[in-house]
Structure 1
Amino acid sequence: MESKNSIDINADLGEFRNEIQLSNELEILKYISSCSVACGGHIGTNKSVRLILEECRKCGVAIGPHPSYPDREGFGRRKMDISLKDLDKSLRKQIQYFFEIANSLSMPVRHIKLHGTLYNETARQEKLINLLLNIVDSIEDKISIIGPTNSLLEKIVSNTNIPFISEAFVDRRYREDYGLVDRSQDGAFLVPLKEQISQARNIVINQV
C-alpha cells in the first residue's frame, strides 16, 4: 500500500472581541483540521474557550492550548521582562485552565502552540525551549508541540520523545533563515490571494 502525505491546516482561534469576529472564527472551522485556542494570556475567557471547543467538537477539529506571555494589553506581541519562574507559572496556569475546560467536555488535547512574541522567541532561545519541554513533560496526556520549521526548537524537540509538528504560514513572508519577517516591517504579510496560494503550494510540494 502506498503511503499518503497529509497536511494539517491549523488556525489560532478564541481571539475574537465581537460577534463579527466570532462569526469569522466559526466559519474558519469548516476548513481546518486543528486549532490552537487562546487561553487567557493574550486574550480569552472561560466562555470563549468553552464556546470554541464545543464548536470544534461538532466539526471534528483537533484542539490545543495557545498560551502566551501574560500580555493582554499588547495581545502577546510585546517583548516582556519576565523571569523564567514567573513565565513558567503563567504558562502552567493558562494550560491548566485550557485542560480543565477540555476535560469537562471530554475532549482530547492534541498539541500546544505558543503565541506571538513567545512563539518567535522560543523558536530560537534554548532557555525558553527547556522551559516549554519541562512543562509539556509534566502534562499527563502526551501532546505534540507545534513550532516553526527548521528552528532550534524543532531540532531540540526532535531529540526528545515529544512529537513535533512543523509549522509554516501561507500569509507571512520568511527570512532566509526561515524566521518570520517582523510584522512591523513592510511586506511582512502576503496579501494577494495568488501569492498565498503560491506559498501554500510551495510549502506542501517542496516543503520550503
Structure 2
Amino acid sequence: MANIDLNCDLGEDSAAESQARDIKIMDVVSSVNIACGGHAGDEFSMAYMMKEAAKRGVAIGAHPSFPDTQNFGRKEMIMTSDQLSSAIISQLEIFADIAHAQNIVVRHVKPHGALYNIAARNAEISHIICAAVAEIFPNINYYGLAGSQCRGIAAQYGLKYIDEAFADRRYNQDKSLVQRSEPDAILHDVPEQSIQALNMALGRPILDKNGADLTINAQSLCLHSDSNDALKSAQAIYQILQENGISIQPI
C-alpha cells in the first residue's frame, strides 16, 4: 500500500467559523502547519490549534512567515539577514514555548507564502531560514517545495527535508508554483484538485500550466484552509486517496 502525508496550513483566521472548519479538516489530514504570528495567528490560536490537533493524533508543525499580516505573508519583504533571522526565530520561540506548556511535540516546520517560495530559489534566504529553524528545533522535519535546491541546504543544518507538493496549485514546467497573480494559479475545482492529489501521490504526471506532463515526486501533499471550499476539498482528497489504497500517514 502506498503512503502519503496530507498536510494543511491552518490557524490563520480567528473567526469562530474558520476555526471550526480548521478543526474539521484535522479529521482527514495527517499533519497541520499552524500559523505562528508572522502572517496570521496569535498565542491563543496557536495553543488552541495545537490542542485540537494533538487530540486527533495529527502531526503538529510551525508555519512561520515574513512578519507581514497586512499582506498575509504573500509579499516579499526586503530585510537584512539579521532581521529575517530574528523574525523567524521569534515566531518559532513562541510556538515552541506554547507547545512545551502543553507537553506537545513539534514535528516539523514549514515556511509560509513568499518566504517558502523565495527559499526554493534563493540560496542565501534558504540558508537564513534553515539556520533559524535549526537553532530552535534541531534535527526537525523541514517541509519545502519538492525538487528545489533547498533540500541540500536543509541537510547542511541537520534538518530532514520533506518534499512537498500542492493539491490546489498550478505548476510551471520547472516545478515552481505559478505565481498567484497569474490566471489559473489556484485550482478551485474540487474534482480537479482531487485528481491532481491522486496523481502526485501515485507518482503519476500532472498537467503544468500549459497542459504539458509534469511529474513531481513528493512525500507530502498540501492543501490550504483559507478558501470557501477548503473543508470540501480536504474531504474529497481524503476520499479519493483512500479509495485508491493510499494510506494517509504523518512523516
Q: TM-score band (shorter)?
A: over 0.9
TM alignment of 1:22-101, pairs within 5 A: 22-101=19-98
RMSD: 1.4
- SS of 2:5's equivalent in the other structure is coil
Q: Alignment partner of 1:8: what SS?
A: strand
| Structure 1 residue 44 displacement after superposition | 1.0
**TM-score by structure 1 length?**
0.93
What percentage of residue pairs aligned between the two structures are identical? 37
The range that moved more, 139-148 or 48-57, is 139-148
Rounded to whole Å, the distance in 2 between the matches of 1:64 and 1:200 is: 21
* Alpha-carbon separation, structure 2, partners of 1:157 and 1:46: 27
Higher strand share: 2
Report if aligned partners of 2:61, 2:106 keep a CA contact under 8 Å in 1: yes
2:108 and 2:130 mapped to 1: Cα distance? 13
SS of 1:72's partner is coil
Aligned partners of 1:159 and 1:206: how far apart in 2? 27
Q: Which TM-score applies when normalising by structure 2? A: 0.78
Tell me by how many angstroms 1:125 deviates: 0.6
Q: How many residues align?
A: 205
C-alpha offsets along residues 139-189 of structure 1, whole Å, 9 cap, x if unaligned?
355311000001111243356632111100111100001011111111111
Corresponding position of 1:112: 109
Distance 2:180 2:72 in 1: 13
Mapped partners of 1:45, 1:61: distance in 2: 20
* Aligned partner of residue 3 in structure 2, secondary structure: coil
Q: Which secondary structure does the structure 2 equivalent of 1:166 belong to?
A: strand
**2:175 aligned with 1:195, yes or no?**
no
* 1:142 match: secondary structure: coil
Q: Distance in 2 between matches of 1:46 and 1:71?
A: 16
Describe how 1:117-196 pairs up with structure 2 within 5 A: 117-139=114-136, 141-158=138-155, 161-196=158-193
Give yes or no for contact 1:16–1:25 (8 Å, CA) kept in 2. no
Aligned partner of 1:10 among 7, 11, 19? 7
Q: Which has the higher contact order (CA 8 A, sep 6+)?
A: 2
Equivalent residue letter for 2:182? Q
Using a 3 Å threshold, how does the CA distance of structure 1 residues 156 and 190 change in structure 2: closer, same or farther? Answer: same
Distance (whole Å) between structure 2 residues aligned to residue 142 and residue 158 of structure 1: 9
Q: What amino acid is aligned across from residue 173 of structure 1 in structure 2?
A: R
1: CA distance between counterparts of 2:178 and 2:152?
Answer: 21
CA contact (8 A) 2:139 2:158 kept: no
Distance between the aligned counterparts of 2:197 and 2:96, measured in 1? 31
CA distance in 2, matches of 1:151, 1:100: 31
Q: What 5-or-longer segments of structure 1 have no aligned partner? A: none
In the alignment, residue 163 of structure 1 is paired with which amino acid? K
Q: Deviations over 1:50-109 (max 9, x none)?
A: 000000111101111100001011110111111111110111000000000000011111
| Alpha-carbon distance, 1:129 to partner | 1.2
Question: Partners of 1:77 and 1:133 in 2: how far apart?
Answer: 19
Q: Which residue of 1 aligns with 2:203?
A: 206
Distance apart, 1:25 and its partner CA = 0.5
